[in-house]
Structure 1
Amino acid sequence: MTAEWPSIGVIIPTRDRPAMLARAIDSVSIQDYPGRLRMIIVYDQAEPDYMLARSGERPLMVLVNWRTPGLAGARNTGILALDTELVAFCDDDDTWAPDKLRRQVETLGGAEFGTCAMEVEYADRITPRLAGISLVGVTDLVRSRMAMLHASSFLIRRSSLVNADQLGLVAEDAPGSQNEDWDLLLRAAKRGAIRHLDEPLVRVAWGRTSYFAYEYDTKVASLRWMMERHPEIARSDIGAARVYGQLACWSAANGDKESALQYARQAVRSNWREPRAAIALAAATGVVKVENVLSALHKRGRGI
């Protein structure tokens, strides 16, 4: 029976969050997946706990990120250390439903890249985020980041990740390792439709558990990096307006009123209905705080 299911390696990058890491490890350990399953914990810019390593049916290896510091380098460290057919990511502050991997493998078939929906945990609320589709293409990802396709839902063929002529590794030049997941999704979609299981099998923690929640300079730099790397975003009125609106909001939150107004104008020129432009203008003029808007949106499982 096990031989009929592809082997899977699960990469959990971590940094100084032992309690959350323990939850993530437990959620992977109890998967009802019939095939071979192993985990790699990659410590990024943190002292590793080698006592977590174990052998057995579902072995766990502990590594230190030896590549570029950050999430992308940590994931690539894990990818290159694996020998499994498939690779899955799970952030250390996220957890999986027990049938996540089995259900995803059944949906993936012979495809290269698969995802599933998620539910957002913020404060005392749990909010499902569904995509409403089963196949995700470039147009979908240009118009929207599709936040429900979270990195902790990714299931990818390792052979494609390690081959630069195919999908290739996670982009380590992404500023602050932000939007590297959106970039990977877009690169995958350009090679073929992403198989999406539209059920919330991943629980994602939002809020202050993120190391980058309030690093606005990094948010701005990573979005500009995405637009340079994927020019089709700028060619989409809706997609460009969304990104310019985000740039305006993060600039306003960072106190850069001039840039906020400039990006807001670009957002409106692309799509006058873009709501982020109004949020940014209100924030730039002191009417609201971006953090307060973001908190209200997070309670509904949404973001800016």
Structure 2
Amino acid sequence: MTPEFPPVSVIIATHDRPELLARAVAAVRDQDYPGTVQCVIVFDQAEPDSALADDDPRRPVTVIANDRTPGLAGARNAGAATASGDLLAFCDDDDAWLPEKLRLQAERLAATGADVVVSGIHVSYGDKVITRVPRPEDVTHAELLRRRVMEAHPSTVVVRRTAFLGKIGPVDEEIPGSYGEDYDWMLRAAAAGPIAVVAEPLVTVLWGRTSHFNRKWRTISDALQYLLRKHPGFADDPRGLARVQGQIAFAHAALGERGEARSWALRALRGSWRERRAYLALLVSLRVLSADRVLRLAHATGRGI
């Protein structure tokens, strides 16, 4: 069967990173996708650059301001509300797509009937490039509770518009600072139905230094605690719960809040003695290691804390 190539709207939320944005937009417009690809650039807490707009019938560019909650969640929902495509896709402004991304993912959606499809990534950190590719069994609801599955990156997501507005729902704008909004959305997507996978790296992700959340530890702690309250399934997976508790412990350790760090670390270790983030949090709280050094080492392997 010849797959259909319905119109796609690609939402890029951005804030004061014009050079990276230009690279991301160019990669979207250079897709070898046979159908129409609309690029919706959402300026979040920044003045929109109307010069980027383009009425090209095959590769139009729409420029808007985020008129919803400030942050990634509101910006992505603002873009989705403006989008005209039957499929919605998301791309961070510091990432770049390979030319075949949308075509391969649309073909996989047509072949599987799924509502959501992801792909693998090339992680670029300094002079290193690490390739990470998810498998279909990695993006089940149970597996996503156990581990974040960073290779199923938000810049790889393509979703049917009807599912995004319907059974999955838009991005949660109540999450503190929009941290982890992509993870929350993936958990909901996996609970709503199977997620398809193109088992190839189709996105280059610029890792670590450009992250909006790099070292915003208070926001990270608040958001992770919000996710634990929102998703009761963590209580049924001790390893998954311990992972998030270990992340919270590390955030408090990085903030210099030694008592809170140790309390969360002990909770994590009661659930899983193998939870390495808890041990790292304890070492940082004791000042044996610095949080920045641990973070640099994690990023060098294409991972986060």
In the other structure, the counterpart of 1:178 is 179
CA–CA separation in structure 2 for the residues paired with 1:234 and 1:204: 32
CA contact (8 A) 2:3 2:106 kept: no
In the other structure, the counterpart of 2:12 is 12
Deviation of the 1:134 alpha carbon: 5.7
In the other structure, the counterpart of 1:88 is 89
In the other structure, the counterpart of 2:158 is 155
Q: Are 1:195 and 2:196 matched, yes or no? A: yes
Q: How does 1:44-55 map to 2 (within 5 A)?
A: 44-55=44-55
Q: For 1:98-118, what per-residue CA distance to the aligned partner results, in whole angstroms no more than 9, with x for missing partners?
A: 101111111122211111111
Q: Which runs of 5 or more residues in structure 1 are unaligned?
A: none
Deviation of the 1:198 alpha carbon: 2.1
CA contact (8 A) 1:253 1:283 kept: yes
Q: Are 1:133 and 2:161 matched, yes or no? A: no
Deviation of the 1:3 alpha carbon: 9.7
CA–CA separation in structure 2 for the residues paired with 1:242 and 1:299: 20
In the other structure, the counterpart of 1:113 is 116
In the other structure, the counterpart of 2:149 is 146
Q: Which runs of 5 or more residues in structure 2 are unaligned?
A: none
CA contact (8 A) 1:206 1:298 kept: yes
CA contact (8 A) 1:134 1:197 kept: no
Deviation of the 1:135 alpha carbon: 6.5
CA contact (8 A) 1:134 1:195 kept: no
CA–CA separation in structure 2 for the residues paired with 1:172 and 1:10: 19
CA contact (8 A) 1:135 1:194 kept: no
CA contact (8 A) 1:245 1:280 kept: yes
In the other structure, the counterpart of 2:101 is 100
Q: Are 1:24 and 2:24 matched, yes or no? A: yes
Aligned length: 301
CA–CA separation in structure 2 for the residues paired with 1:12 and 1:189: 23
Structure 2 SS opposite 1:4:
coil
RMSD, matched Cα: 1.4
CA–CA separation in structure 1 for the residues paired with 2:150 and 2:257: 26
Deviation of the 1:260 alpha carbon: 0.5
Deviation of the 1:219 alpha carbon: 0.4
Q: Aligned letter for 1:101?
A: L
Q: For 1:184-227, what per-residue CA distance to the aligned partner results, in whole angstroms no more than 9, with x for missing partners?
A: 11111111111122211111111221121011000001110111
- Structure-2 change in CA distance of 1:201 and 1:153 (3 Å): same
Structure 2 SS opposite 1:258:
helix
CA contact (8 A) 1:7 1:35 kept: yes
Deviates more, 1:39-48 or 1:191-200: 191-200
Q: Are 1:237 and 2:268 matched, yes or no? A: no
In the other structure, the counterpart of 2:42 is 42
Deviation of the 1:168 alpha carbon: 1.2
CA contact (8 A) 1:120 1:205 kept: yes
Deviation of the 1:145 alpha carbon: 0.7
In the other structure, the counterpart of 2:296 is 295
Identity of aligned residues (%): 45
Q: For 1:153-189, what per-residue CA distance to the aligned partner results, in whole angstroms no more than 9, with x for missing partners?
A: 11011112223xx111110011111111111111111
CA contact (8 A) 1:7 1:37 kept: yes
Q: Aligned letter for 1:139?
A: A
Deviates more, 1:195-204 or 1:83-92: 195-204
CA contact (8 A) 1:135 1:193 kept: no
Q: For 1:81-130, what per-residue CA distance to the aligned partner results, in whole angstroms no more than 9, with x for missing partners?
A: 11211000001000011101111111122211111111211111111112
Q: For 1:209-263, what per-residue CA distance to the aligned partner results, in whole angstroms no more than 9, with x for missing partners?
A: 1121011000001110111110111321110111111111111001110110001
- Structure-2 change in CA distance of 1:147 and 1:3 (3 Å): closer
Structure 2 SS opposite 1:247:
helix
Structure 1 SS opposite 2:211:
coil
CA contact (8 A) 2:139 2:149 kept: no
CA–CA separation in structure 2 for the residues paired with 1:130 and 1:83: 30
With the length of structure 2 as denominator, give the TM-score of the two structures.
0.96
CA contact (8 A) 2:3 2:107 kept: no
Structure 1 SS opposite 2:23:
helix
CA–CA separation in structure 2 for the residues paired with 1:8 and 1:218: 33
CA–CA separation in structure 2 for the residues paired with 1:60 and 1:18: 15
CA–CA separation in structure 2 for the residues paired with 1:102 and 1:4: 10
